[in-house]
Structure 1
Amino acid sequence: LLSVSLIPLILIIALQRFSFQVTGNKVTSDIRKVLDDYAYYNMESILHQFNMNLDLNVRLLEALIKIQADRMEEALRGKKAKRRKGGAKSPDEFLDTITLESVKNLNDKRHSNNVYPFPVDFFSENIFIVKGASRKKVDKDLAAFRDLTEVFKKIYHKAPQIIYWQHVSLESGIIITYPKGIALPKLFDPRKRDWYKMAKKAGGLIWSEPYVDASTHKPMLTVAKPIYRSDGSFAGVTGIDIHLPLIFRWMHLNPDWAEGAERMLLTSHENKKKFKILARSSMEDSLEKWNQPLKLETISSEDTTEFNAFLNELFEGKSGVRIMRYKGEKAIWVYGGGKGRVIALLLVPYKNMTELADRTEEFLWKKNTQWMRYSALFLALLLITEVIIVIKLSKKFTSPILDLANAGQKLAGGNFDAHVDIQSGDELQQLGDIFNRIGPKLKEHQKMQQSLVLAGAIQQRLLPKDVPHIPGFDIAGLCRFSDETGGDYYDFIEFEKDDSGKISIIVGDVSGHGISAALMMASARAIVRSNIRHFTSDLSRIMYEFNNELTADSETEKFMTLFLGLLDTEKRTIIWTSGGHDPAIRYHAMNGKYEELSTQGIPVGFLSNMNFETAGPLKLNKGDIVLIGTDGIWETEREDEEMFGKDRLSQVVNNNKDKSAEEICRIIVDSVIDFCKPRKPEDDITVVIIKVL
């Protein structure tokens, strides 16, 4: 009887163990899949946002170094920036938005973050003289540069999160650095530094290679620009230094998997499939001498085949996600190209992604082993009692796990309302609570996607429904967003009464994508329309007021380019102005040639109180075509990194010049999309055609 009872019991225990293991594997597998999918998407989004922030801050630094160089040259020439016509402020007056109190607060903040390893003074600068410098030349230049503190301070305030040092170094041997810190080494001569030589040779703005800072021994990168005296002779170089590890403050990682993560910027020299680490978040202050080159580590992995495929994708400018070992540890590699040959790389330990699933698997295995041990003990004591215990334990452990497995299948199938109700009061209940939080988070993400689609539909309604029907002209426009929402737009505004026969034509391009760009586009459209109704034909005034309003309303890292034209249909002329927008293109029907309608102007929404010149009037003849577009046309790249370009655009117009304006717009957009296949255009595409009949 004991054998008859024991054999079935042993079989039951074995089956229960197998069922427990299969169910546990299913649960951990489903959890692992959901977490992996969510993490990959989240990391790619973080990397994409970092690339946009990096690009915007590079543009900001280049704009600031140009202003800084202008101020240095004005100091050398004994001139000061004068107030410009039309109420616009000079760059010096634009920088006057800073106050002493704000600099004091900034000073305290930078110390609290331990950015500088020694005390610094934001109300003064260091002045050094290179050994052997001519006293006569030094005295003359020092007299010109006696009031630089305010200039440095105001420029610093525009980007305190980026700028580490500001400096100017002259051929005469003068070195001026801001903020004031410790002394430079006695043998330091900026004229021997690579960034100085590069700027002097290039004659324009340059970005240096990474190097060791002479005063802090920190890894630095410098954007520099040469300055010249009034007679055109080379005077020296002014620069802005960036502490490389601080760049990664723009990359915010999920704390659930940020531990041990590494953020890097890679660069390739001479188009070789060999990438060096330009900067990394864990980069320590260099222990090398300041007058020796900074050694850059080459990125590598023990997984040769996978790593070679990774290098090929980097060389081709592709983005992606791969799983490879880094320094012996399995990691998730998320990468994507920024501007030029700089690639952002995010390395996250793979164990961070699988920690929850691993804990679940370990927990289930532990419980299974414990249950088997108790079963064997109870079998030795009392068979009947063991049978009862086995039944109770099997129900106690398998029921919650089966609930988790079923709910996991529903969640994997897209049912984000999948829910489990486990009231066991132990780790299984904790696991159930964790599972119940996953579905709402995924559902919230899906709602966000649906909101973006709705926002895109609303944004399309802001574009003109009808084009102006004017005798003697054929006008059309077309806009295609790269995402659900976009930052491009165009508009036509017809006038009545005294200004009848005139049409305003607007084409704009907001930096970036997504909801923020769409909101800025809608705001810009309303502001432009209001100013056009008020100032009508005064394009310079319209742009001046529009720029001030947009600058006041928008964030500092957001700006846009804008083309504003006024077509006189009776005189068949056009005048125009531009806020940093690419020139319009005119096709001459008489000689078949193309010309660009250029004008000066910086992007709007960036600096307030700036003037914008009006060009024209330009006489248009029968058969002429005027094309206004955004850079999403000619800067679109295909897989081999070849751009669509303006030559190819001109050829498309030339081949279809006899067709209607609407057909030409459609053909241009289709040509750009076909050109970059199988990839999708990464930027919005907008084109307006004015055809003279």
Structure 2
Amino acid sequence: MPTRLSINLLAPVLFGVPVLAVGLWLSLAWNAQSKRAVAELAEQGIQQIHQSASTKITDVLSTPVQVCRVNEHLVASGLLPLDDLPAWRPTILRQAEAFDTLSSIAWGGADGRSAWVTRYADGSAYWALKADGDAPTMQEWRLGADGQPTDAQAKTFDFDVGQRPWFTTPRDAGGSAWSAPYVWVGGVDSSGVTLGISYGIPLYGDSGEFIGVVDADFSLNDLSEYLGRQSIGKTGVAALLSPDGRLLATSADAAVATQDGGLVRLADSDNPLLAAAGGVIEQRDGAADALVPLLDEPHYVTTSRVGDGVGLDWTLVTIVPESDFTAHIEREYSRSWLTSLIAMSLAVAIGLFAARWLVRPLNQLVTAVRRIGQGDLDTQIEVRHAPEYVNLAAEVNRMAAGLQDRMRMQKSLSLAMEVQRNLLPTDSPELPGLEIAGHSTYCDETGGDYYDFLDVSGSDQHTAVLVIGDVMGHGVAAALLMATARGILRSRSAVPGSLADFLTHLNDMLVEDTQGERFMTMLLVTVSSKTHELRWASAGHGPPMIYDPTKDTFFDLEGGGLPLGLMDGEDYEEYQLPPVGPGSVIFVATDGLEETMNARHEQFGIERLQSLVRENAAKPAEQISQTIRQAIATYRGAVSQADDLTFVVAKVLD
């Protein structure tokens, strides 16, 4: 009978059992609340991790496109002479050093002559040259730190450019193109097979004859090493897949190529985690955004397309274990169970006082975690108790502080976007006999596109000066370079000078800051509403599109210099056109318009732009601008905007 028990024994038992029950209930309640809060934070964290990786990969994939376009301009301007391939070495070596994610930059001529600079993972660089197109072999030298060959005797190997995929793919396509993965020259050794993928642009002579290909390559091994340097959560991995689900690169220690030079299917990877994820993705028709069990542990598997903006249809896969987000909570939860057992033992000895002493901090933690889960991120838990509770409170406090930091970063980006938009013109200049309309839409919070209307010292009231620029890449770095260029250009316009003078001054100023590692293109155009004369100067930017309705003709313009910020000492030229007819439309834009993709991966293209300008030339400039924006949006459909869209329309009135 209970009444026969000693009061010294019965009281601790009567108090200890309820204390144990309450302690266990509070532990379970706290665990449930914590898991809900962690689940919400994990979903946000996964999206941020995946988006960060996607942005970095997109920037890397745009590098060969930008480099090939630069070299296309350099060849057209004679700075890379086709009759003197050895003169190419300093320029393309500097490019390879500036863009260390590239493995190779090359030229292949229709006459069989070839040249390239190749960089390897250990930092070494090699220069290869085939000066005689009829010769069966090619020569290669290792380059020293000064860019000069270190070998007195060149290494030779059999080479025919007409058999290389990086050359034949754009040649046969008749336009810029990515090759399929292919085995590199010398890419088969005891360590395995080295595959590469290239982007090339075919070049044509004045008579339309094919003259060669400018090319930039990735080694899939180098692409995997780049992924391996990225942070995918704490212990997560990432992989890039081809359209048919085969591995192109991975941050995990796994092969991407078979011994015969093929690509490994994700589901057949020798890495168990990748193989398990591949099976899940194949079951879900190539897409997965869910928490799924892999190797007996829950993992967040997220997929998204990358490379749309540069003509690729790749898939980025990130695989992050749930334990990256819950490990601390699980450890602290396990400790709370131990604490509850200790509490029961103490309760048997000291009764109600000990029970209250143990239950109070658990109640405090449960309440605080609940408030955090409801959005009160200012909640701070101050527990002066056992070390386990203090550590648990500190972890929860750090969790809330981390979420606050991410929210502050988002607010900072929003503020940066507002500041950058305030740098763009709020109104178009009003000049007699001239209508002007400008527009810019960024694909991220901040972008690198820029347009402006300059008030140049010494110009008359009938002359408008149009500016449009495009910084390589997106985000805060591109926005800062854009703002710097805007400030320098506006300051220089206070002193009379030609458009070429402005670009030369701006380039010299930017090179001091960028050291040639970042660059931007720019186009300056002046339009006189009185004389109908146009002058223009370009730094790596396409010429203006000019439509004269009196002749139903688009002017065919050529010319320009290097993009701004690559190298100092560049002298730019100013070009002048004869007077255009009344009603003529001058259209300047960044490449985001032409390269807008629809759901079928087709670019909008210059022909559609010209048709829009011709069909709407009779309308006011603002209506032409609105029509172009609507046409771009309709063409893109549900596809997200991959690049900034910026353009200016000017119309010469009668």
Contact 1:28–1:358 (Cα < 8 Å) also in 2: no
Secondary structure at the counterpart of residue 51 of structure 1: helix
Tell me which of 365, 372, 378 is aligned to 1:411.
Answer: 372
| Residue 691, structure 1, aligned to residue 651, structure 2 | yes
Question: Which stretch of the first structure deviates more once superposed, 523-532 or 601-610?
Answer: 601-610
| Residue 50, structure 1, aligned to residue 79, structure 2 | no
Aligned to 1:307: 281
Give the distance between the partners of 1:238 and 1:454, measured in 2 at CA.
Answer: 39
Give, in angstroms, the shift of residue 311 of structure 1.
4.2
| Residue 258, structure 1, aligned to residue 234, structure 2 | yes
Give, in angstroms, the shift of residue 602 of structure 1.
3.8
| Residue 623, structure 1, aligned to residue 598, structure 2 | no
Distance 1:55 1:596, change over 3 A: farther
Tell me the amino acid that sits aligned with residue 684 of structure 1: D
| Residue 662, structure 1, aligned to residue 630, structure 2 | no
Distance 1:449 1:602, change over 3 A: same
Tell me which of 260, 282, 299 is aligned to 1:293.
Answer: 260
User: What's the CA shift string for 1:586-614, capped at 9, x where partnerless?
Assistant: 33323555556443444322343345444
Aligned to 1:503: 464
Secondary structure at the counterpart of residue 632 of structure 1: helix
| Residue 528, structure 1, aligned to residue 492, structure 2 | no
Secondary structure at the counterpart of residue 244 of structure 1: helix
Aligned to 2:137: 173
Aligned to 1:249: 226
Gaps spanning 5+ residues in structure 2: where?
A: 101-111, 144-148, 204-208, 268-274
Distance 1:165 1:502, change over 3 A: same
Contact 1:463–1:489 (Cα < 8 Å) also in 2: yes
Contact 1:540–1:577 (Cα < 8 Å) also in 2: yes
Distance 1:47 1:477, change over 3 A: same
Give the distance between the partners of 1:343 and 1:355, measured in 2 at CA.
Answer: 29
Aligned to 1:460: 421
Distance 1:650 1:324, change over 3 A: farther
Give the distance between the partners of 1:286 and 1:674, measured in 2 at CA.
Answer: 39
After superposition, where does 1:332-411 map in structure 2 within 5 Å? 332-336=300-304, 337-338=306-307, 339=310, 340-368=312-340, 371=343, 374=345, 386=348, 388-389=350-351, 391-411=352-372
Secondary structure at the counterpart of residue 335 of structure 1: strand
Secondary structure at the counterpart of residue 509 of structure 1: strand
Q: Normalization by structure 1: what TM-score?
A: 0.72
Gaps spanning 5+ residues in structure 1: where?
A: 82-90, 111-140, 269-273, 314-319, 376-384
Contact 2:227–2:249 (Cα < 8 Å) also in 1: no
Give the distance between the partners of 1:63 and 1:674, measured in 2 at CA.
Answer: 28
Contact 2:525–2:535 (Cα < 8 Å) also in 1: yes
User: What's the CA shift string for 1:182-201, capped at 9, x where partnerless?
Assistant: 9xxx9x95438997365368
Aligned to 2:194: 220
Contact 2:438–2:649 (Cα < 8 Å) also in 1: yes
Contact 1:220–1:243 (Cα < 8 Å) also in 2: yes
Contact 2:74–2:562 (Cα < 8 Å) also in 1: no
| Residue 447, structure 1, aligned to residue 414, structure 2 | no
User: What's the CA shift string for 1:474-499, capped at 9, x where partnerless?
Assistant: 11212223333222221112445565
Contact 2:522–2:539 (Cα < 8 Å) also in 1: yes
Distance 1:219 1:406, change over 3 A: farther
Distance 1:591 1:63, change over 3 A: closer
Give, in angstroms, the shift of residue 371 of structure 1.
4.9
Q: How many residue pairs were aligned?
A: 599
Give the distance between the partners of 1:644 and 1:233, measured in 2 at CA.
Answer: 25
Give the distance between the partners of 2:50 and 2:560, measured in 1 at CA.
Answer: 38
Q: Normalization by structure 2: what TM-score?
A: 0.76
Contact 1:164–1:240 (Cα < 8 Å) also in 2: no
Aligned to 1:2: 2
Distance 1:485 1:258, change over 3 A: same
Contact 2:547–2:586 (Cα < 8 Å) also in 1: yes
Give, in angstroms, the shift of residue 54 of structure 1.
1.2
Question: Which stretch of the first structure deviates more once superposed, 647-656 or 341-350?
Answer: 647-656
Identity of aligned residues (%): 21
Secondary structure at the counterpart of residue 263 of structure 1: strand
Question: Which stretch of the first structure deviates more once superposed, 646-655 or 413-422?
Answer: 646-655
Aligned to 1:547: 507
Distance 1:328 1:19, change over 3 A: closer
Contact 1:74–1:80 (Cα < 8 Å) also in 2: no
Question: Which stretch of the first structure deviates more once superposed, 353-362 or 670-679?
Answer: 670-679
User: What's the CA shift string for 1:215-260, capped at 9, x where partnerless?
Assistant: 67355344598999xxx999999997746146543665448x433x
Tell me the amino acid that sits aligned with residue 265 of structure 2: T
Distance 1:644 1:564, change over 3 A: same
Distance 1:13 1:44, change over 3 A: same
Aligned to 1:267: 242
Give the distance between the partners of 1:250 and 1:304, measured in 2 at CA.
Answer: 18
